[in-house]
Chains A and B, each alone.
Chain A
Amino acid sequence: MKPAINIYAKFLVLIFLIFSCSSDLDFDQVNDLKLEPVVVANLTYFDIAAHAFVDDGNEHSIAFDSQDFNPFRNSLMREDLIKTEFNFEITNTIKRAYKIDLLLIDGQNNTIETLNFDIPAYSGGNSVFNFTEVFENQRLANLKRLQKIGFVVTMEAGPPLTENSPGNLKLRSAATLNFDIEIEE
């Protein structure tokens, strides 16, 4: 197949000759390609009814759960994420104050950091509270160790709840992810 390859070489030379009467092109510009997508994604959600804090007439003031969550196992997330912002929207229509802790936990079960939100008791006025947490630089580098999220909801003292108490404690949240993807490895 050697002759075929020689012909290919000539063929390419011919193409380049044709190209000689052309505008200046700079193919090295490919190296300048930088993708900077901004992606939004759900983060976490729960909705607890007031009566869920009451069991057989007794209040239990702490709810706890943990979930495995390791988005940084993806290399794009690990290497090209330069900033992320967590936006929380917490709605409380229960006449009790709450403390919500989100524990960001690494692979060794160490807490990287705890995000805590103090939510006042509902008194007929504003029930929606927004919080923003921005992760950049060292804080982001730490976040990239994330393997698990722990959720601790603590009910503060206040007027007793019954099985028929109205209201909900609801958390909605999303992450905004800023990437910086460059072609050059």
Chain B
Amino acid sequence: MKKIYVFLLALAHNICFSQNKQILYNFTSIPQSLLVNPGADVSYKYFFGIPVLSGISANVGSSSFSAYDLFADNGVDFNDKVRNVVNKSSGKDKIYTNQQLELFSGGFRIGGEGSRSYLSFGGYQEFDFLMYVPKDMAILALDGNRDYIGKSFDLGDINLRAEILSVFHIGFHKKMNEKFVLGGRIKLYSSGANANSTKNSGFIYTTNGTADENIYYQYISSNLELQTSGLASFTKDEYDGNITDDLIHNTFFNGSLGLGFDAGFTYYYKKNLQFTASIIDVGFIRHTKDIETLTYKGSYEYNGVNPSFEFTDEPENVLDDFDKAIPRDTLYSKYTTWRPVKFNTSVEYSFGESRFEDDECSCKTPSERLYVNAIGAQFFAMTMPKGPFVAFTAFYKRRLFRKLELKTTYTADSFSYTNIGLGVAGTLGKVNMYLLVDNVLEYSDITKANSMAFQLGVNFVLQDSD
């Protein structure tokens, strides 16, 4: 139990950063925007990501509290801060972390000169953690049940999932005509470690007993289950390996495997009015390696240790009865988890034709000219155990030079209503670089931020037109 607390608090260390990639979405100057919409209107002769540097992203979000709330060095007793955080949280508040590291990526145009079909591929490592605030359990741990007579503590508050996995993917997109780009991607997942406890239910209930009962009526109904893969061997006494090394090895070479797909499109209603949509990570992982499922299932009414005054020889033990009623069982059956599915859609209106005087004259025919400005709106949704996470974004994109583009976003979601994001993507020669940061308003004091995300990367790109 103590260890769990240490773990939760260690996790709170990271809280400051939300997996909405609202800045990257449809930011087609960046090849990695294909990862959030395989039907994005991205074109290149070929590109490859600088290994490991091409895409790094991290998102951390906590919907009800910030690192400052817990760890501010302000003389307030830490226990009071914990109590305040618990009191203002609800069982729907969540702590979310997602980190991705692109290991390699690349793409090339297929077919001849006039072809507008593109292949892309890559591999990345991903860590994903989601936990709802276990409010009732936290109250029980902080205060106990004495002051909560008549309250039912909900065991369904215990809801978390964590996974470390590697993803290898290959995608294809094609400009079907001037108006329509269609793309898809298939993914092979290799999960190195997974912990999943998202379908818990039950309660712990204490109320005053009636006159013909003991002082209290106490009832526990428990339907708890924790599925794990790739973790059980680390918990055994005889394990003497290096957890980090083994975890990395399992993630890439000995993971539980799964399959999934992404799909998306871009549609130009007019040249300057564009719609896009994508669905990402429709897939599953079949957990088969090093699996262990722990369950506590049953119910028990606790009356105390009660003599019968009948001289039966059989020794009774009320605590053994409890253990029998809600046994700890360990199962070794394979299980399947679904990847969190993400849905994105956008509408974008462009205006102001460019007059850039770079290596080419701006005497292009109007149909080939670039627009300088774009405004639009995006919607993001992701599946989560207690109902979807949704975010709305308004954005403005501005091309400063032919190959330098800025995007600024305003996003409202359950973590924050004041999330301003900034992104810049530029290509110098054949080197494409990007940096995307969200929640910039919180930078004046990042410790008070409820969520944060950043992404950066470097690619080597040869454009169609180059």
Interface residues of A (CB under 8 A from B): 1, 3-4, 7-8, 11, 15, 18-19, 21-27, 29-30, 32-48, 52, 63-71, 73, 76, 87, 89, 149, 151, 153, 172-174, 176-177, 179, 181, 183, 185
Contacts and interface: CB of A to CB of B under 8 A. Distances in A.
Interface of B: 1-2, 5-6, 9-10, 13, 16, 51-53, 56, 58, 67-68, 70-73, 77-79, 81-82, 101, 103, 125, 140-147, 149, 206, 209, 212-216, 218, 245, 248, 252, 302-311, 315-320, 443-448, 454
A25 to B, nearest CB: 4
28 contacts: A1-B252, A18-B454, A19-B447, A21-B446, A23-B72, A23-B445, A23-B447, A25-B67, A27-B13, A33-B79, A36-B142, A37-B143, A37-B145, A40-B146, A42-B214, A44-B214, A45-B213, A45-B303, A46-B306, A65-B311, A172-B213, A173-B214, A173-B215, A176-B146, A179-B144, A181-B2, A183-B6, A185-B2
A172 B214 contact: yes
Given A42-B303, A68-B317, A33 B73 contact: no
Contact of B309 (A19, A24, A153): A153
A107 to B, nearest CB: 13
Contacts of A67: 305-307, 315-318
A11 B56 contact: yes
Given A35-B141, A76-B1, A68 B315 contact: yes
Nearest to A31: B78
Given A32-B79, A39-B146, A89-B215, A44 B306 contact: yes
B146 A27 contact: no
B318 A25 contact: no
Contacts of A19: 16, 446-447
A37 B72 CA distance: 24
B6 A25 contact: no
A67 to B, nearest CB: 5
A43 B5 contact: no
Contact of B305 (A26, A89, A149): A149
Nearest to A174: B215
Top 5 nearest A-B pairs (CB, nearest first) are A37-B144, A42-B304, A65-B307, A174-B215, A45-B214
A71 B319 contact: yes
Given A33-B5, A37-B143, A38-B143, A48 B218 contact: no
B101 A39 contact: no
Given A11-B56, A65-B310, A30 B6 contact: yes
A82 to B, nearest CB: 13
Nearest to A184: B2
A184 to B, nearest CB: 9
B54 to A, nearest CB: 11
Given A11-B56, A23-B445, A46-B309, A174 B216 contact: yes
B41 to A, nearest CB: 30
Contacts of A73: 319
A169 to B, nearest CB: 11
Nearest to B138: A35
A77 to B, nearest CB: 10
Given A25-B67, A67-B307, A179-B144, A1 B248 contact: yes
A60 to B, nearest CB: 11
Contacts of A33: 5, 9, 78-79, 82
A79 B277 CA distance: 57
Contacts of B13: 27
B142 A35 contact: yes
Contact of A39 (B16, B72, B144, B252): B144
Contacts of A24: 72-73
A35 B10 CA distance: 17
B120 to A, nearest CB: 21
Contacts of A69: 305, 317-319
A38 B146 contact: yes
A23 B147 contact: no
A132 to B, nearest CB: 13
Given A4-B101, A38-B146, A66-B307, 20 more contacts: A1-B252, A4-B52, A4-B125, A8-B101, A18-B454, A26-B72, A27-B71, A30-B6, A35-B5, A37-B140, A37-B143, A38-B144, A40-B149, A40-B215, A42-B218, A48-B309, A67-B316, A149-B305, A173-B214, A181-B1
Contacts of A46: 306-307, 309
B209 A172 contact: yes
B79 A44 contact: no
Contacts of B303: 42, 45
A58 B303 CA distance: 32
Contacts of A22: 445-447
Contacts of A26: 71-73
Contact of B147 (A27, A38, A68): A38
